[in-house]
Amino acid sequence: MQHTKGLIGTPQNRVDGRAKVTGQAKYAAEFDTPDLTYGIVISSSIAKGRIASIDASAALAVPGVLNVFTHENRPRTALLDRSFRDEVAPPGSPFRPLYDAEVKYSGQPVALVVAEAFEIAAYAASLVEVAYTVETHMTDLDISRREAYLPPKKRSGVNPPPSPTGDPEGAYAQAPVKVQGEYRIAIEHHNPMEPFASTVVYEQDGTLTIHDKTQGAQNSQGYVSNVFGLSKDQVRVISPFVGGAFGVGLRPQYQLFLAVLAALELKRSVRVVLTRDQMFTLGYRPQAIQTISLGANPDGTLQSIIHDAVQVTSTFEDYQESIVNWSNLLYHCDNVKLTYQLAQVDTYTPCDMRAPGAATGVTALETAMDELAYAAGIDPIALRLKNYTETDEPDKKSFSSKELRACYQLGAERFGWSRRNPEPRSMREGRELVGWGMATGVWEAMMAKTAARAVLTRDGRLEVSCATADIGTGTYTILTQIAAETTGLRMEDVTTKIGDSSLPRSPVEGGSWTAASAGTAVQTACQSLREQLFKLARQMDASPLANASFEQATFADGEIHLTNDASARVTFAAAMQAGGVEQVEADGKSGPSLMDAARYAGYTHSAIFAEVRVDEELGIVRVTRIVNAVAAGTILNPKTARSQIMGGVVFGIGMALEEESMLDHNLGRFMNHNFGEYHVPVNADIYDIDVIFVSEHEDKLNPMGIKGVGEIGIVGTAAAIGNAIYHATGKRIREYPITLDKLLG
């Protein structure tokens, strides 16, 4: 059996691109419905304490105001912790909006004003008076780390650090070359373009159709069903387009709860949209303080790795990441000790943010490795090659595939690394110091259980569907490519439907597993559909395929023909007409192979090279060149995949130089809660980004050899920039972001 070649692996335009640039693509707050009402969230002004009183009388007196929901009058729903848990909830007690008078963090929703018009609701919200009893809060990690603890329960999908091996402390003490440092990563907020919004359409039969900004329509559906005691048939969540998410959309956010609560109570459709300020009351990449000690022989051979991390979590949930595990994964060493602890602060629970754990842990590790290279007088690439490993040492598994050596080689060649003068402050151009740095990137290549459906109609149109999401990554496009190539149709003849809880089962879109998971499910469904078509074609009267086997057939251009005789052919339409069917339907499933998972470790790898130019007098840093060489198995669409790596690199530039959510510990509140003061890279900050996809044969993780590329672009990028800044200036900054005050200081 063969099928049309030439789509998978080729650069194709986004099939949803025209809808997005012309405004036809609708987002959660853009779906209109008759008699829609509007909700405005009132946020707490204190970080910890209790609500002493809420006076909503003035707001309720405003014509057009329907209700002001508070903990005092909310419907009696969701009293049990378990009913609030969602698909990716960490251990602990999930936050329950309007549950009682307790205030757990600054910006917590304390009331919802619902009115006939948005402007009326906003005005009425300004009239609600809330009085508080204030309690002492704690948001400072430097203080709360004194009571850091090991998480008592493991978070699903997050492996705790492996047990120590050898004698790490003794080996470090005896190592001829050693470095030790404390590395700090600031809190970062996701800041997607689209704010969180939910439009809850209350149907006449009491069912709900919800347009939600989410990375998992079925996750939001399950959450609403559990919280409000509804059946899955009574709740449909639709989210065809997501204006960015980066992990913050993995969990249902509080506007969804509030909008549903109001809709059910008022028996009206309700829309709730969060402000940009309120977006800073949601999850974030947690602050982390890491200490790394590396000991090595004079030739750079690692003798000891000690990596400790403490990270913030909320007072009510134990959010966890794999931060330190990467240090024993990237490099061979016989003496390793990795520890990870949590420290509670009075903020909302952190959440996954692009490459959670790796973006934090690898940044510190790769900065320390650069320091070791200078201490040993060894080229940074040579040091990494000296300690290269072919196995996942903690789990004693071989890698399913690993072309990291080729990443180093091809990236270095493209960047011109051989021309680098290793001496700090040795390269300059005019008033700017020039620095070159590099780092390694790594991320998991995962797969999750996913289902898909394929339906072919007699007019030659194919529809494939899956409940997964597209947060801007190109999911629509790659699923269309896979379906078209597998069935032998043009991409124009394929429609992909996703982002709807009524579609075949899919987990949340995250972890870089969507391409492998949903892609394999779609391919499997289309393969099953092909078999049905072939059976119909063989059963036709005087069929030219009557005596052929499935393996002898090629599917191309909407027809089936013998591979060795193109004249022996049957069109899809003719086969379906002869079989008396208007459409052919097939389901497909995908999931990780338990046997292969037990034998192999799957990861994407990268090598990042950065050039910076630092104004010697002002300390202003420009990242003028990035070369990122990535080994990620089969690249389904080089065009959309390149965009993903570029987006990750831009994320890394922000992490390295700009992004920092600043807490006023006196108030317990994020102070730079807007785009004017929370700095993210803009066009003027971005120069040349060169992406190389290194050829990598992968045949163990999934049938198409797919490894996701959504996260790998950010991992190691901040470290490469920090290392380049050291090379340019001779100043080693271990606290990210590296702002000019740190350089000038």
- Catalytic residue IDs: 711
Our separate counts of H helices and E strands in the chain read: 19, 33
Scanning the structure block, which residue is given the tokens 């393969």?
Answer: 527
- 364 and 332 Cβ atoms separated by less than 8 Å: no
ω into 504 cis (within 30 of 0):
no
Please choose, from the candidates 363, 269, 361, the residue with its C-alpha nearest in 3D space to the C-alpha of residue 320: 361
Task: Compute the residue count for the chain.
Answer: 745
- 528 and 484 Cβ atoms separated by less than 8 Å: no
Please choose, from the candidates 399, 337, 417, 368, the residue with its C-alpha nearest in 3D space to the C-alpha of residue 602: 399
Q: SS3 sequence, 223-272? A: HHHHHHCCCHHHEEEECCCCCCCCCCCCCCCHHHHHHHHHHHHHCCCEEE
- 745 and 442 Cβ atoms separated by less than 8 Å: no
Q: Round to whole Å and give the CA distance between 724 and 540.
A: 68
**What amino acid is encoded at 62 in this protein?**
V
Q: Round to whole Å and give the CA distance between 327 and 308.
A: 10
Q: Round to whole Å and give the CA distance between 237 and 257.
A: 13
The C-alpha angle with vertex 332 and arms to 328 and 337, in degrees rounded to 5, equals 40
Residues in contact with 674: Cβ distance below 8 Å, sequence separation at least 6, in sequence order: 276, 277
Q: Round to whole Å and give the CA distance between 591 and 524.
A: 11
Q: Round to whole Å and give the CA distance between 45 and 669.
A: 9
